[in-house]
């Protein structure tokens, strides 16, 4: 007996959409994976760029110090134990130091959202929405076969459709902490030269600075603070490997064989143009 199938699992008022079988392609026989470009990659790009190009070593206390760069507000064990070299024997943080603090992200206005018309359940695999199509150079199904040649078979192409990335602008606050203002000048100058550059090592994202604010406090009972905050905006396109519980990458096979047949449609036309067509059900007839 056939298994009963519920037809309205998603909505009370409308039946579940019927997926096209053209998109039901097995994925267990390929090794194509997609990790996406994630917020982590943007964070790492900013971190790597500062670490490699901007955190210039500075002279202090008769030594040359490489400036530690890190993300703000790590866990306690990380700050105290793993990065204990940033502290003196009493546990006090030692300057200089560069900390990165991600403050937020928002949609970019300067780039149109290409998949704006997509509904949430309309991921590329289900058709619709815009996607990026990539063709695989080699398909195992196309390996040399005498039978295909003799039968004049067209090789099938293997495509992978990626969801359109989201264009966002990630905001950071770069906190620079030095012992002396003289050291701060040298560091801040470096940042200014990299305004508008593509920051990163593997993935690169154009970054813009929003001005520098200095904060120098010399309050009694505390050590003198020389700090600068540089807001940075990184323009990024992020795409995730899964959207709406479905893979954001979708395999597609090109049409291998196209068969053309004859198709005719005939219908009765009224002799008098003023006559109303009252029953179209009988007057249309499909002929194959």
Partner 1 sequence: MALFGSGRDANFVRLINKELINRVVDIEIEYYQLATPLTPENLYGESTEKIFYQPVRIPCLIDRAEVTATSDEGGINFTRTSIFAFLLDTLKEKSIVATAGDYIKWDSSYYEIDNIQLNQYWGGKNPDTYPGNVFNETNEFGYNISLIAETHKTRIDRLNIEQTRIGINNNYYMPKNL
Binding positions for partner 1, rule: CB under 8 A: 59-63, 65, 72-74, 76, 79-80, 85-86, 88-95, 97, 99, 101, 173, 175, 177, 179-183, 220-224
Residue by residue, DSSP assigns 20-88 as PGGG----TT-------B-HHHHHHHHHHHIIIII---EEETTEEEPPPEEESS--HHIIIIITGGGB-
With beta carbons less than 8 A apart as the criterion, state whether 105 and 169 touch: yes
In angstroms, what is the minimal distance from the CB of 43 to partner 1?
15
CA 212 to chain centre: 29
In angstroms, what is the minimal distance from the CB of 238 to partner 1?
24
Of residues 46 and 163, the one with the C-beta less far from partner 1: 46
Residue 159 burial (C-beta neighbours within 10 Å; 0-12, 13-18, 19+): middle
Bridge pairing between strands 69-71 and 213-217: unpaired
| N-terminal to C-terminal alpha carbon distance within the chain | 35
With beta carbons less than 8 A apart as the criterion, state whether 43 and 71 touch: yes
In angstroms, what is the minimal distance from the CB of 73 to partner 1?
7
With beta carbons less than 8 A apart as the criterion, state whether 124 and 22 touch: no
Of residues 127 and 231, the one with the C-beta less far from partner 1: 231
Of residues 42 and 98, the one with the C-beta less far from partner 1: 98
Nearest alpha carbon to residue 65 among 51, 78, 55, 52: 55
Separation in Å, CA 135 to CA 44, 157, 250, 252: 29, 7, 12, 9
Find tokens 């990026």 and name the residue. 132
In angstroms, what is the minimal distance from the CB of 201 to partner 1?
24
In angstroms, what is the minimal distance from the CB of 76 to partner 1?
6
Of residues 227 and 252, the one with the C-beta less far from partner 1: 227
In angstroms, what is the minimal distance from the CB of 53 to partner 1?
22
Cα(234)–Cα(45) distance, integer angstroms: 9
Of residues 85 and 245, the one with the C-beta less far from partner 1: 85
Of residues 180 and 193, the one with the C-beta less far from partner 1: 180
Of residues 35 and 224, the one with the C-beta less far from partner 1: 224
In angstroms, what is the minimal distance from the CB of 220 to partner 1?
4
């Amino acid at each position: 007996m056939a298994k009963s199938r519920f037809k309205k699992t998603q909505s009370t008022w409308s039946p579940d959409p019927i997926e096209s079988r053209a998109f039901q392609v097995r994925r267990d026989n390929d090794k194509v994976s997609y990790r996406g470009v994630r917020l982590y990659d943007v964070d790492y790009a900013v971190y790597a760029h500062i670490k490699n190009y901007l955190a210039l070593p500075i002279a202090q206390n008769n030594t040359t110090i490489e400036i530690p760069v890190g993300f703000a507000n790590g866990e306690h064990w990380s700050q105290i134990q793993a990065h204990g070299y940033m502290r003196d024997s009493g546990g006090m943080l030692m300057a200089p130091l560069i900390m990165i603090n991600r403050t937020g992200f928002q949609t970019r206005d300067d780039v149109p959202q290409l998949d704006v018309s997509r509904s949430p359940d309309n991921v590329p695999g289900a058709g619709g929405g815009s996607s990026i199509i990539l063709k695989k150079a080699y398909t195992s199904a196309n390996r040399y076969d005498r039978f295909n040649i003799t039968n004049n078979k067209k090789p099938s192409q293997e495509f992978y459709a990626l969801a359109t990335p989201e264009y966002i602008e990630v905001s950071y606050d770069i906190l620079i902490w030095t012992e002396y203002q003289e050291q701060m000048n040298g560091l801040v100058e470096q940042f200014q030269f990299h305004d508008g550059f593509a920051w990163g090592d593997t993935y690169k994202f154009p970054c813009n600075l929003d001005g520098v604010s200095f904060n120098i406090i010399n309050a009694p009972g505390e050590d003198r603070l020389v700090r600068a905050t540089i807001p940075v905006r990184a323009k990024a396109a992020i795409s995730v490997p899964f959207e709406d519980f479905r893979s954001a990458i979708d395999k597609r096979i090109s049409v291998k064989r196209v068969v053309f047949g004859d198709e005719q449609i005939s219908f009765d036309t009224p002799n008098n143009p003023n006559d109303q067509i009252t029953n179209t059900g009988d007057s249309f007839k499909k002929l194959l």
